[in-house]
């Protein structure tokens, strides 16, 4: 059914001009969904702002499972709507998580994925941008019209790769694709995961991709697996290297300065907001 975009409300009516961050892993198994889910949770917890999480892995849709959410509505509801798609309609498709984030899930039925294309995703992300300070988008490895829409609208694209030759080549191909699509690669931030070891030296990756890594995500298979299977954020809030790395990425995206290590709790020693008072 054709979208009735001409009858939608102005996406800027609320006065919020939020940022969209798309998370993309160059191949499967790199922890893309783990990062997207926990990045959204960390942004909400650390910035006290409104945060949305959109699942554009339309056929697999693991975000709801990672957060132990039950839902009826999804992004497919936008495609099937016969009425105006506006902020009120959008909020009816969102599912609230205990962490405070609002989730736009992937379709429950695999065949519903075919109803969601570039136009539906653009509309959803524009509405989310107008309602939330931060929107994190989990994207699949396969490039579709839906994922291209997310890359086109994203303020930040977090590109996850490991140090294996196939991954680095895939990352280079992805950057080349963005250039052909006229999507500015200056929006791309490189993340190196140690989940899968590889023979490529970091300086060679930097030279090949033309980017310094924003962060390195340490290996934490047990913590990530436990969080995924329990449907909860990483390690239940316990301080680990991976949780700290995700927190660091969240702070950088939010523009919050990180103080040097000092006395105090683990997170306070590693990451501190800019002092709001003298």
Domain region containing 148:
5-238
Asked if residue 213 is part of any domain, the answer here is yes
CB atoms within 10 A of CB 204: 12
Quick one: pLDDT at residue 79? 77
Arithmetic mean of pLDDT, 83-98: 84
Asked if residue 277 is part of any domain, the answer here is no
Asked if residue 243 is part of any domain, the answer here is no
The answer, yes or no, to whether residue 183 has pLDDT greater than 90, is yes
For residue 179, give the CATH number of its domain. 3.40.50.300
Pairing of strands 134-138, 156-161: unpaired
Asked if residue 262 is part of any domain, the answer here is no
Asked if residue 263 is part of any domain, the answer here is no
Asked if residue 276 is part of any domain, the answer here is no
Total tally of structural domains belonging to the chain: 1
The answer, yes or no, to whether residue 236 has pLDDT greater than 80, is no
At 101-158, the pLDDT tens digits run 999 999 888 888 888 888 889 999 999 999 999 999 999 999 998 999 999 999 999 9
Quick one: pLDDT at residue 53? 97
The answer, yes or no, to whether residue 164 has pLDDT greater than 70, is yes
Beta bridge partners of 135: 20, 52
CB contact burial 216-226 (16+ within 10 A = b; e otherwise): ebeebeebbee
Instruction: Assign 238 a pLDDT band (cuts: 50, 70, 90).
Output: low
Asked if residue 114 is part of any domain, the answer here is yes
The pLDDT mean for the chain works out to 83
Asked if residue 249 is part of any domain, the answer here is no
pTM of the prediction? 0.84
Instruction: Assign 271 a pLDDT band (cuts: 50, 70, 90).
Output: very low
């Amino acid at each position: 059914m054709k979208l009735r975009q001409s009858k939608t409300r102005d996406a800027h009516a609320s006065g919020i001009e939020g940022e969209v961050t798309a998370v993309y892993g160059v191949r499967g198994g790199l922890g893309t969904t783990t990062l997207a889910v926990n990045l959204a949770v960390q942004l909400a917890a650390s910035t006290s702002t409104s945060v949305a999480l959109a699942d554009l892995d339309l056929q697999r849709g693991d975000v709801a499972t990672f957060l132990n959410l039950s839902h009826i509505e999804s992004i497919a509801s936008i495609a099937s709507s016969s009425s105006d798609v506006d902020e009120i309609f959008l909020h009816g498709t969102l599912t609230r998580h205990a962490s405070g984030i609002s989730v736009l899930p992937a379709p429950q039925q695999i065949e519903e994925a075919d109803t969601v294309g570039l136009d539906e995703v653009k509309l959803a992300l524009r509405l989310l941008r107008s309602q939330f300070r931060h929107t994190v988008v989990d994207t699949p490895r396969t490039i579709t019209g839906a994922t291209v829409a997310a890359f086109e609208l994203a303020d930040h694209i977090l590109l996850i790769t490991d140090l294996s030759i196939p991954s680095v080549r895939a990352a280079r191909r992805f950057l080349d694709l963005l250039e052909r699509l006229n999507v500015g690669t200056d929006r791309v931030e490189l993340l190196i995961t140690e989940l899968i070891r590889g023979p490529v030296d970091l300086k060679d990756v930097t030279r090949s991709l033309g980017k310094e890594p924003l962060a390195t995500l340490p290996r934490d298979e047990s913590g990530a697996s436990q969080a995924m299977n329990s449907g909860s954020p990483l390690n239940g809030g316990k301080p680990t290297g991976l949780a700290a790395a995700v927190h660091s990425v969240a702070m950088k995206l939010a523009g919050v300065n990180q103080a040097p290590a000092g006395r105090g709790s683990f997170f306070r020693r590693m990451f501190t907001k800019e002092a709001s008072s003298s």
